[in-house]
Amino acid sequence: MKKSIFLKTDEEVELIRQNCLLVSRTLELVAKLLKPGVTGSHIDSKAEEFIRTNNAIPGFKGYGGFPSTLCISVNDSVVHGIPSDIEFRDGDIVSVDCGVINHGFYGDAAYTFAIGEISENIMQLLVATRQSLYKGIESAIIGNRIGDIGYAVQKHTEKLYGYGVVRELVGHGLGRELHEAPEVPNYGRRGKGVLLKDGLVIAIEPMVNLGKKEVKQSKDGWTILTKDGTPSAHYEHTVVVRKEKADILSDHSFLEEAIKNNPELVEISLKK
């Protein structure tokens, strides 16, 4: 059965924005805590405490049985990694996905952090994937179609750099449910798919592998890994479709400022 698409009123968009900003502040906290020797479990507990202190509920914890507040995916983990007691190490790349719910609506965003010294080819993967997020957002305007977003991401990462764009996992509509229609693939054809209308709120989230596009599921039943063992990057914003330019409801600037002030983390430029 085809799921209905719900366009959001301006009031609903502002509630989603509030939640996305809390997600963004939570990712800022992650950026302050992340360093070698720290565990995902520790960061996850601090994130849950922060979200609840701000009168919201972790959006992922308990969702479909997921056990944690954050999805923390390290190196060859693409998404849905369960925070663990394994300590982070110099050279790790760490994707952190966060969601909250408050006033009946969700917020959602993600960022891949680099700890210490990482190789040039991995840094290029992070930069290109982050750039592709904004390429996709540029296409999220009234009159375009879902395929235009996916095409923009795929062209920048897969066609330009030869990376593998994950097919099995996609972005999504966001609102009263964490995953609403329509699906937002990171690949596609221009002019194809759902027509983008004013008030459509979607999470755009490129998931891009350094190697091939194929993935597999871990024995834990959640973590998605690259099949060839190569690193993967993941960046996500929630946006609302508007006439000439999408309105980005989440905000990476908080965490980027925290990265600058954390000597253990490396800045991921958009200009490389």
Digitized pLDDT (tens) for each residue of the chain, 272 residues in all: 678 999 999 999 999 999 999 999 999 999 999 999 999 999 999 999 999 999 999 999 999 999 999 999 999 999 999 999 999 999 999 999 999 999 999 999 999 999 999 999 999 999 999 999 999 999 999 999 999 999 999 999 999 999 999 999 999 999 999 999 999 999 999 999 999 999 999 999 999 999 999 999 999 999 999 999 999 999 999 999 999 999 999 999 999 999 999 999 999 988 75
- The closest alpha carbon to 138, from 125, 157, 151, 124, belongs to 151
**CATH superfamily of the 10-266 domain:** Creatinase/methionine aminopeptidase superfamily (3.90.230.10)
Q: Is the dihedral of CA 153, 158, 163, 164 positive or negative?
A: positive
Domain layout of the chain by residue ranges: 10-266
The structure's pTM equals 0.98
Residue with tokens 């994950």: 166
Distances (CA, A) of 133 to 18, 33, 137, 248: 21, 25, 6, 11
3-state DSSP assignment of residue 266: strand
Give the CA dihedral 243, 244, 248, 249, nearest 10 degrees. Answer: -30
pLDDT tens string 254-271: 999 999 999 999 999 887
**What span, in angstroms and rounded, lies between the C-alpha atoms of 129 and 157?**
7
**What span, in angstroms and rounded, lies between the C-alpha atoms of 145 and 136?**
11
- 232 touches 226 (CB < 8 A): yes
